[in-house]
């Protein structure tokens, strides 16, 4: 029922674009404020460009490279195998894999035949994987060999008919493959598996048949899973348009997204930033994706230096790691023309520190800060380069409307007033999978007739129409009736010369309802003493309003992270 309402609005509500609704238009420059989007599927968008790009490199995997022509041929083979195995239009097919060529081929093959790709974190617990597969009703599963034993343990509970096992080493160059197989404990002996399982090369060893199913832009295409800030991940159902619109926007807002350039594609494909921004958009625009199945963060600088990507997508935690390497040559990053940061809040101090580091190593970049969430296909705005404002997340992509509303209302907030960020546009999700209650809470039709995604993020818009992120709505601390924004306090603590990172949380308090607690990680080689504790508390008193001062201080060695590299606030809470 809810989706029918949405579709009526999309078809019948075509308002004229007015500057008063988009005060940021004056900053768009060469970027159009409205675009025309491809009407078909994600696969069809990619396939339409195959003649133009067929001899360019699409994928690089260790020391092997694969052309667009090769990629499209493998998609034909895999899609043929899927149809022959019984997969039909609108079936949900699960991919639980690392960033390998086989995972990319499987993704486009599923879309080609009109099925829906269900993207699952391969390091999820057995119980999480089981619940996702059961809830989605998926009967076909793609995994890497490292996951075989986990799936074997739950096979009686998931009712999957066919599991395709793609070894991590399958597309490696010979030398790397031999070394990997000598040390890996994840190899699967094909003679030992049951008929429910099939090795990748055996699966796609089939005659190619016509498998293309024409789909519309509004059809279901991909299911990604939200970060689970409430404790349970929700399946986010995205359409073909969500991905095609993001790709079209990237063509204009990312200057270096050009045929022949390259993207370091290590962000995982079960994540919106990884799949939509780091894989699909660059491939559809004729770029090379340098696939990294598992990134050793301590070696990230070496990877950048040797792989020479044009575009580097990062999360803030990785930028922090990058800047700690003091053994890099002055031209090591000379290939990098664009750095896109997303997935978490990037502090001003870390942004400046990282930009200085890149410039000292051959790359004259300004870090572009993107904003979005899984529910809007990962990214819907990006910070400006020519007119950058400190701390901003920039202006919305073409055809995206942003507004700030007073929390728990539809009422538009004033300029510079903190409220909830709401988004309306072509990349907004269709619904949550099998969860109408949460869908109604998150997608709301406002009095202007538009469908708005309530992001759960707090931020504000200034008089120029430029947006700023503050914190998660659920992270806002209400202490003695005052609203306290953890991100602002963390910025202050992180500027202390002995503090590496910090997280501010609210804890139960009998008098104030919530009291402020700060959890601090000191810099390497800094020893925690009573004098240092006192110094930090005095620093806080000088820089933080009295009502927002922490009541509790805790010092730990390392902040816990979620599976996608964000700070695990829920665990700290």
> DSSP for 361-429?
TT----PEEEE--GGGTT-SEE--STT--TTEEEEEPTT-EEEEE-TTSSPBPPTT--EEEEEESTTS-
- Evaluate if residue 19 carries a pLDDT over 60: no
Inside any domain, residue 35: no
Query: What region, left, alpha or beta, does residue 260 occupy, with left being phi > 0 and alpha being psi -120 to 50 degrees?
Result: left
What whole-number distance in Å separates Cα of residue 445 and Cα of residue 451?
A: 4
83 in the same domain as 145: yes
Inside any domain, residue 84: yes
Domain boundary among 294, 314, 340: 294
Percentage of the chain with pLDDT > 70? 94
Inside any domain, residue 211: yes
- How confident is the model over 423-443, as a mean pLDDT? 96
- Phi and psi angles of residue 469, each rounded to the nearest 5 degrees, phi first: -95, 140
Number of independent structural domains in the chain: 3
Percentage of the chain with pLDDT > 90? 72
| Two tokens, residue 171 | 């597309």
Q: When comparing pLDDT for 454 and 227, which is higher? A: 454
Give pLDDT tens digits for 194-247: 788 999 999 999 999 999 999 999 999 999 998 543 346 799 999 999 999 999
Can you give the CATH number for the domain in which 499 is found?
3.30.300.30
Give pLDDT tens digits for 133-165: 999 999 999 999 999 999 999 999 999 999 999
Inside any domain, residue 386: no
Inside any domain, residue 373: no
Can you give the pLDDT at residue 284?
Answer: 97
Taking all residues of the chain, what is their mean pLDDT, rounded to a whole number?
90
The angle formed by the CA atoms of residues 559, 560 and 566, to the nearest 5 degrees, is 95
Residue 17's pLDDT band (cuts 50, 70, 90) = very low
Can you give the CATH number for the domain in which 413 is found?
2.30.38.10
Inside any domain, residue 260: yes
216 in the same domain as 277: yes
What whole-number distance in Å separates Cα of residue 96 and Cα of residue 445?
A: 34
Cβ–Cβ under 8 Å, residues 371 and 518: no
Q: Which residues contact 346 (CB under 8 A, 6 or more apart)?
A: 316, 319, 367, 369
Inside any domain, residue 184: yes
Neighbours of 445 (CB within 10 A): 16
What whole-number distance in Å separates Cα of residue 379 and Cα of residue 146?
A: 31
- Evaluate if residue 188 carries a pLDDT over 80: no
| Two tokens, residue 41 | 């599927």
What whole-number distance in Å separates Cα of residue 494 and Cα of residue 485?
A: 15
Domain boundary among 264, 294, 324: 294
Can you give the pLDDT at residue 1?
Answer: 52
- Evaluate if residue 564 carries a pLDDT over 70: no
Domain boundary among 453, 471, 489: 471
**Maximum average pLDDT range among 275-284, 384-393, 553-562:** 275-284
| Two tokens, residue 182 | 């000598």
Give pLDDT tens digits for 34-44: 999 999 999 99
- Evaluate if residue 15 carries a pLDDT over 90: no
Cβ–Cβ under 8 Å, residues 378 and 342: yes
**Helix, strand or coil for residue 53?**
helix
412 in the same domain as 273: no
209 in the same domain as 282: yes
Can you give the CATH number for the domain in which 149 is found?
3.40.50.980
Residue 563's pLDDT band (cuts 50, 70, 90) = low
| Two tokens, residue 357 | 């580091």
454 in the same domain as 548: no
242 in the same domain as 106: yes
89 in the same domain as 6: no
The angle formed by the CA atoms of residues 476, 477 and 478, to the nearest 5 degrees, is 120
Give pLDDT tens digits for 349-393: 899 999 999 999 999 999 999 999 999 999 999 998 877 888 899
What whole-number distance in Å separates Cα of residue 88 and Cα of residue 38?
A: 24
127 in the same domain as 67: yes
Inside any domain, residue 305: no
What whole-number distance in Å separates Cα of residue 134 and Cα of residue 137?
A: 5
229 in the same domain as 272: yes
**Buried-exposed string 157-190: b where 16+ CB fall within 10 A, e elsewhere:** ebebebbbbbbbbbbbeeeebeebeeeeeeebee
Q: How far is CA 470 from CA 153, 190, 328, 395, 507, in A?
A: 43, 52, 34, 15, 20
- Evaluate if residue 5 carries a pLDDT over 60: no
270 in the same domain as 191: yes
Cβ–Cβ under 8 Å, residues 136 and 102: no
Domain containing 433: what range? 2-30+395-471
- Among 46, 145, 56, 131, which residue's Cα sits nearest to residue 103? 145
290 in the same domain as 405: no
169 in the same domain as 73: yes
């Amino acid at each position: 029922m809810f989706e029918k309402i949405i579709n009526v609005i999309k078809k019948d509500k075509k308002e004229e674009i007015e500057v008063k609704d988009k005060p940021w238009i004056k900053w768009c420059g060469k970027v159009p404020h409205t675009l025309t989007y491809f009407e078909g599927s994600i696969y069809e968008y990619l396939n339409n460009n195959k003649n133009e790009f067929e001899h360019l490199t699409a994928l690089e995997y260790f020391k092997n490279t694969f052309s667009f022509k090769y990629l499209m041929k493998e998609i034909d083979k895999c899609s043929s195998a899927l149809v022959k195995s019984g997969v039909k239009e609108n079936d949900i097919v699960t991919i639980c894999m690392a960033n390998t060529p086989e995972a990319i081929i499987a993704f486009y093959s599923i879309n080609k035949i009109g099925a829906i790709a269900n993207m699952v974190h391969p390091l999820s617990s057995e119980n999480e994987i089981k619940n996702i597969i059961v809830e989605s009703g998926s009967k076909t599963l793609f995994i890497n060999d490292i996951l075989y034993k986990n799936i074997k343990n739950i096979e009686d509970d998931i009712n999957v008919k066919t599991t395709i096992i793609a070894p991590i080493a399958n597309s490696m160059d010979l030398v790397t493959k031999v070394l990997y197989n000598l040390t890996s404990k994840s190899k699967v002996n094909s003679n030992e598996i049951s008929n429910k399982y099939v090795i990748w090369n055996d699966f796609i060893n089939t005659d190619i048949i016509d498998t293309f199913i024409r789909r519309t832009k509004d059809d279901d295409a991909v299911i990604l899973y939200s970060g689970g800030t409430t404790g349970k991940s929700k399946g986010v159902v995205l359409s073909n348009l969500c991905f095609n619109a993001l790709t079209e926007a990237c063509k204009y807002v990312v200057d270096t997204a050009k045929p022949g350039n390259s993207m370091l594609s290590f962000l995982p494909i079960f994540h919106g930033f990884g799949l939509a921004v780091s894989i699909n958009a660059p491939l559809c625009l004729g770029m090379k994706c340098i696939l990294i199945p598992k990134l050793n963060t301590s070696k990230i600088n070496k990877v950048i230096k040797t792989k020479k990507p044009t575009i580097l997508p990062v999360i803030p935690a990785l930028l922090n790691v990058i800047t700690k390497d003091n053994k890099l040559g002055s031209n090591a990053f000379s290939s990098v023309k664009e750095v896109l940061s997303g997935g978490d809040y990037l502090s001003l101090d870390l942004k400046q520190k990282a930009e200085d580091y890149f410039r000292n190593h051959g790359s004259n970049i300004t870090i572009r800060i993107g904003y979005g969430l899984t529910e809007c296909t990962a990214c819907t705005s990006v910070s400006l380069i020519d007119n950058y404002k400190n701390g901003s997340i920039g202006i919305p992509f073409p055809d995206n409307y942003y507004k700030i509303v007073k929390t728990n209302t539809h009422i538009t907030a004033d300029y510079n007033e903190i409220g909830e960020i709401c988004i309306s546009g072509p990349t907004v999700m269709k619904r949550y999978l099998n969860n109408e209650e949460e869908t109604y809470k998150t997608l709301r039709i406002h009095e202007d007739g538009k469908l708005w995604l309530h992001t759960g993020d707090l931020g504000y818009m200034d008089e120029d129409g430029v947006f700023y992120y503050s914190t998660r709505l659920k992270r806002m601390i209400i202490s003695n009736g005052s609203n306290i924004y953890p991100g602002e306090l963390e910025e202050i603590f992180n500027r202390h010369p002995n503090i590496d990172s910090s997280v501010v949380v609210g804890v139960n308090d009998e008098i104030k309802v919530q009291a402020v607690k700060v959890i601090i990680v000191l810099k390497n080689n800094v020893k925690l003493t009573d004098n240092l504790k006192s110094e930090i508390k005095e620093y806080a008193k000088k820089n933080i309003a009295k009502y927002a001062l922490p009541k509790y201080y805790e010092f730990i060695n390392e902040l816990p992270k979620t599976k996608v590299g964000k700070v695990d606030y829920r665990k700290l809470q």
